[in-house]
Structure 1
Amino acid sequence: MKLLAGLVRQTEGEIYVDGKKIGRKTKAVVSYLQDNPSFDGWMKVEDALRFYELFYLDFEMDRCLRK
């Protein structure tokens, strides 16, 4: 699942999702949610959000930061 979600790179061959090589566009089709989310100890909430922003084309940072 991590390969399909684009979180881990394959060492051989090619993987396609919906006819496309794995990348930012395929992240809208396949997601991976681990049982126990973990972040680096230095990360604050905003750091984690910026991390996710890199992965998902439809991520809306402004919406996350609204109070």
Structure 2
Amino acid sequence: MSDDGQLQVVRGTPDDVELAALVAGIMAAATAAPLDPPAAPRAAWSDRRRQLRPVPSAAPGADSWRWSLRG
């Protein structure tokens, strides 16, 4: 693109169909909706995964009653 906003073919001889495809692609890219802004980070307190019990890591044993209410 030149400084005044016009396109200039610098090499080759494109036909009318090729130029129309180029202009259509540039116009589609220029009018595309911007990407959504990134979502604000969520607080750890609102994360529902904290309310779930973790997967038991140890097999039940003699001391399993001590850990039964932790989770």
* Alignment TM-score, normalising by the size of structure 2: 0.22
More helix by share: 2
Q: Which has the larger radius of gyration?
A: 2
Q: Larger RCO: Structure 1 or Structure 2 (Cα < 8 Å, ≥ 6 residues apart)?
A: 1
* Alignment TM-score, normalising by the size of structure 1: 0.22
